[in-house]
Amino acid sequence: MKQAYKITGKDLKSVNIVGNASVQYKRNEPAIPKPDCGPLCVFKDAESVTSFLKQMTLAISREMFVKVWLCEYEESKEDHIWTFTNHNSKENIPEGTILADEVILKEEVKI
């Protein structure tokens, strides 16, 4: 497995998700997309995380809303993300995003 960064809510659920596609993460346990949704998103480096948080206006108060994790992932062969109600091309997702079929949260990090 490869290493990257994953942003979750304080409740360890996916952030920036529409509808019921949010994934509940647990530390050291594999997470996969919900049925009819996919793939998961991770960030290749700390700079990509910081850029995303600034775009989402969470950077100022990020510790109140999100956690950033060092994670392991299996890269997806998919070239876009989707939920059962929404499709996005890879060009519409944040720079530095890697699409993953499985993500394991390893360690919370401060960026």
Helices (H), 13-85: 46-55, 62-65
Give Cα 22 to chain centroid, integer Å. Answer: 10
Per-residue pLDDT at 87: 67
Residue 97, helix vs strand vs coil = strand
Please tell me the pTM assigned to this model.
Answer: 0.88
Residue-wise pLDDT tens digits, 55-64: 776 555 666 6
Pairing of strands 40-43, 97-109: antiparallel
Residue-wise pLDDT tens digits, 48-100: 999 988 877 655 566 668 899 999 999 999 988 876 666 666 666 888 999 99
In sequence order, the β-bridge partners of residue 8 are 14, 67
- Domain chopping of the chain, boundaries: 2-109
Per-residue pLDDT at 63: 62
Model confidence at 19: pLDDT above 70: no
